[in-house]
Structure 1
Amino acid sequence: MNYTYLLINIGVIFFPLILSFDKKVHFFSKWKFVLPAILITGIVFLIWDLLFVKLNVWSFNSDYIIGIKLFGLPLEEILFFLTVPYACIFIYECLNAYFPANTLQKYSLAISNLFLGLCIAILFFGYSRWYTLINFGFLFLVLAYIEYVNIEFRFMYKFFRAYLVSLIPFYIVNGFLTAIPVVIYNNQENLGFRVGTIPFEDHFYLMGLLLMNVYLYEFFKSKKSNQGESSLVSEKERLGVLGGF
């Protein structure tokens, strides 16, 4: 058995997990929002992953996995959808806690529109390739929904900053996965353009994965906040009624 992919997963989550008890970020207190976001997103991406294995979009090098499989996927690949989102949401929260000022706020819609336009352009030229089609189609739908349908809370300016920072560990982790390689890509199903050994689409795969996780994370936080506000209003009304007697 080879533990390469498993060790990569452990390396991804090790420091974010240890540092979750940082006093300023208090990330451990937000696990009740983090975990459902990761689980829901994970189900979506695992279905996507299974489809890609069936379509021969990518496969896994048996020399670098321990050999345990669930639903036809290596255990390490399933863990990937826990460790990477956890680390990325941790980065997102750390940046928000330590650097609350964010100059991207006034540019976030323009940046989103730029990415939406990029998705349309790439889909026009690469729609016949499964990885390109599903990857950019998914990103387009999620991004368009968040910017033009979701009006309850705005967070994209914080998301883009976290995404940029997340690209640093992304190049390290994905660099290992694609250089060894642990994950083997079928270039007939992607654009065939790589940054080093990393397929171009992987950058936007990360964006879609992180975006869905952060959206659900913020969604669950907002629901909790709204419930708290409703309870506070009800309590004030109750006290007001009692005060009238």
Structure 2
Amino acid sequence: MPRGKHRRPRTSPLTRGVVAAGAGTAALAIPLLSATAASAATPAQAPAAASAASQVRSVTYTTVNGDTLYGIADKYDTPGGWRQIYKDNRKAIGDNPRLIHSGLKLTVRTTKTASTTAAKKSSSVAHATQASAKTYANNLDGWIRQSLDIMAQKGIPGTYDGIYRNIIRESSGNPAAINNWDSNAAAGTPSKGLLQVIDPTFLAYHVPGTSLDPFDPVANITAACNYAAARYGSIDNVFGAY
């Protein structure tokens, strides 16, 4: 490069001001455009958000024997599931979400409309009709499988293995088993049937649609599983006297 003085091109104050302002305007243009775009998008998004919020409504549900928070949440498609119901009704339910007394008036959030509720009810009736028409073997395997189908309809958790394991421990699979020697028997309420349930517990957790005879295998299993679900979360969680 040849040595020498290089002339700096002259720039008038006005030109310099325009250049500086131009750079500044360019720098500010990005956030301004973004803010404008965000503002423009808000009205379009608002109806969707409002629509989603309007789909959730609250209903009052009165509990009955055999209810679980899990089953109620499933019935009403409650956002947040059984934990949300417990959170909204903790004062009424108490400290144990697994122990639900009948007659409680619970506030339940639901995303269902009357039409979807009616449709599900119709589907449940059809399913119950199919289940009642189904035949089961009159043995331990058949009793467990029939109980599981009823439990599925009522939202009562439990598996074949969990039920079978507890039956073998409690009664060795004898539906006529009765305990006449322990403290329950001494109090006048001996444990009965496949899962050794005392009468007060059987009546409290009896599942509608099953026999009122505590020695009936299916009624005994279903009531015991309903009780275990309320107290332990599931019959699967029971590994000893309960």
Q: TM-score interval w.r.t. the shorter chain?
A: under 0.3
Greater C-alpha radius of gyration: 2
What is the TM-score of this pair, normalised by structure 1?
0.27
Q: Which protein, 1 or 2, shows the higher relative CO under an 8 Å CA cutoff with sep ≥ 6? A: 1
**Normalized per residue, which structure has more helix?**
1
What is the TM-score of this pair, normalised by structure 2?
0.27
